[in-house]
A and B are shown apart, each in its own frame.
Chain A
Amino acid sequence: MRRAVASDHFAGWAFVTPGVVIILLFGAVPIVWSAVMSFQRNNLLSPSTPFVGLANYKQMVHDPIVAQAIQHTLIYTALFVPGTMVVGLFLAVAMNRKIRFISFYRTAAYATMAISTISEAIVFIWLFDPSYGVVNYFFSLVGIPQQQFLNSPSEALYVIVAMTIWGWTGFSVVIYLAALQGIPQTLLEAASIDGAGPWRTFRRITLPLLSPASLFLAVWLTINALQLFDEVYLSTQGGPLNATTVLVYYLYNQAFQQFNFGYASAIAYFLFLVIIVVTVIQFRVGKRFTYYRS
């Protein structure tokens, strides 16, 4: 018996070591390291990296671009997350039935999942091109004046919201469709026998049963929204006039264009804090509205 346990120790460590070493080296060690760096002045220009206490964090508080970046990140998240969820829910409900061409409709939605953020951004820059873009053409057909879109400080962020909602449609449709198909038919039948119309059934039966999926999507999409980078990097580089500078873009800019590793680490930890706070709030609030069967 004791030998079996001893072999467990050996086998256990032998099995986990390769994977764990990688994760410790590239995951755990960097977490501690960047925490330390956030208290150092580290800008690659000077060889020494002296500890400067909270100087990086203080600098952040007084940095007007950080304030703007926080604002843009939150506006973006507040529009992108509900937008994607509503579009996904609507399409999933519409697609959750056996009608002709349904697999074609579904595949069209799923296809948005297969496209990388970079491909997506390039297509949307072209669609929203101020001079030759097809969106401005559609606008002209219905009498809307020509827009500057990504060149306009007041519009650029919303164009990025639109392109990312499109890019995440497939994902939210898949999640909601899976959840819809888990709803037992008998519950919906019972509701209709009791005289509930389709809308009432949806509000009172379907929507509450979808709440775990909604909570998952809200949390997942928010975590991704707070880390928005690829589309901004490709389409606007944070411009025009910093109108689309979001936290991760500014962090990347500080880290790998200005090489202020210390300051960038402080921003990274601030981002981490924001993600934790927002996620905890979502779970707290979500728990009140989430209904779990079983």
Chain B
Amino acid sequence: MTVTSAPARGGISGIRRQPGHGDAPRARRRRWLPFSPWHLVLIPATLVLLFPFVWLLITSLETPAEALRFPPVLDPHVIRFANYSDALASAPFVRFFINSAVVAVLTVLSNLVLCSLAGYAFARFRFLGRTALFAVLMATLMVPFQVTMIPQFIITKWLGVHVLAAAGIDHLGALILPNCATAFGIFFLRQFFKTLPLEYEESARVDGANRLTVMIRIVLPLATPALATLAALTFIDSWNNFLWPLIAITSTDQMTLPLGLATFQGAHSTEWTLLMAGNVMSLAPMLAVFFLAQRYFIRSVAATGLAGT
């Protein structure tokens, strides 16, 4: 069995692994194919995984008449880019995108700041009520969103009427404020801060730096991987969140991409070419970000798994 370990780069430069290392039994077996037999598994699997994306793209470029034909037209005769402009004309996808981006970026930034502060205090300071407070935070972590969503709706509505209109129901702020710090983020960063060596912080303290300076100058630079992981996870969560925006937002101009797309689907449920064009525009930005930062996203997701094990 050839087990790939992440940093290993063998095989690329044409240097074969020495026999007897790793896959001794396989090396002895006669090769009955000019390529690894695993391709025979992976090629069909990849086709199945990619087919929905491909079909989405094909439909988004078909004429409405060709989309509504059975058996389906697998290779459209006319490439119709007008589906995209039609979709843009019937729903403000650019607006949805901007709203999603604003919500996601502000949520990520505020989480990084607030969770770092709280996580650092929980990791390092001994203050009255620390244990009790931390226990309460951990308890909220276990409760599913469905339990809290009704009071959260009422509180958000109240805040919008009595305190700050921009954070009320049907405003983008309603999507940011309740998520601008999370118990998960605080817990995650606290665990990471606890693994850092104390010496640097202590010597900086002796040199007269205050708590905040120590955190910003010494701790946070050491915690970059954890912060990047938290940023990636928060970004995905915020970008894909659907249930809370569905409850909190009703005006089209305040909608994020998933909610806007769902509303668009409700209005054009049988205009498949239009729907698919809208869908491509909705998922393209996230797909692009994902490919550009694939390493970070994969590492972040793997980190949650490894932390859980």
Contacts and interface: CB of A to CB of B under 8 A. Distances in A.
B151 A99 contact: no
A31 B71 CA distance: 52
Given A28-B140, A94-B38, A109 B25 contact: no
A178 B139 CA distance: 29
Contacts of B259: 118
A114 B275 CA distance: 19
Contacts of A189: 21-22, 24
Given A15-B125, A123-B55, A192-B24, A180 B3 contact: yes
Interface of B: 1-6, 8, 10-11, 21-26, 35-36, 38-39, 41-42, 45-46, 49-50, 52-53, 55-56, 59, 67-72, 114-115, 117-118, 120-122, 125-128, 130, 133, 136-137, 139-140, 142-155, 177-183, 186, 211, 236, 239-240, 242-243, 246-247, 257-259, 261-262, 265, 272, 275-276, 279, 282-283, 286-287, 289-291, 294, 297-298, 301-302, 305-306, 308-309
Contact of A108 (B46, B67, B68, B276): B46
Most B C-beta atoms less than 10 A away, residue of A23, A25, A261? A23
A251 B52 CA distance: 30
Contacts of B308: 216, 219-220
A289 interface: no
Given A37-B150, A134-B55, A11 B71 contact: no
Contact of B3 (A15, A97, A133, A171): A97
Given A31-B148, A213-B309, 19 more contacts: A5-B126, A15-B118, A15-B120, A20-B137, A22-B114, A30-B155, A34-B147, A105-B45, A110-B297, A126-B275, A132-B67, A179-B309, A182-B306, A189-B24, A197-B25, A201-B1, A233-B242, A268-B144, A276-B142
A126 B269 CA distance: 10
A196 B275 CA distance: 53
Contact of A127 (B35, B55, B211): B55
A252 B36 contact: no
Which of B127, B153, B258 gathers most chain A CB within 10 Å? B127
Interface in A146-191: 166, 169, 171, 174-175, 177-183, 185, 188-189
A102 B9 CA distance: 13
Contacts of B2: 97-99
Q: Which 10 A-B pairs rank lowest in CB-CB distance, beginning with the nearest?
A: A12-B127, A30-B151, A212-B309, A15-B121, A19-B181, A114-B290, A30-B148, A178-B302, A27-B140, A175-B305
A95 interface: yes
B50 A108 contact: yes
B146 A105 contact: no
> Is the contact region of chain A dominated by helix, strand, or loop, or is it mixed?
helix
Given A122-B279, A174-B301, A31 B45 contact: no
A171 B53 CA distance: 17
A131 interface: yes
A96 interface: yes
A22 B243 CA distance: 19
Contacts of A215: 309
Interface in A71-111: 91, 94-102, 104-105, 107-111
A55 interface: no
B233 to A, nearest CB: 12
A27 B49 contact: no
Contact of A193 (B24, B140, B276, B294): B24
Given A15-B118, A110-B294, A233-B262, A34 B55 contact: no
A23 B140 CA distance: 8
A99 B71 CA distance: 37
A112 interface: yes
B237 to A, nearest CB: 11
Contacts of A181: 3-6
Given A20-B137, A132-B72, A12 B144 contact: no
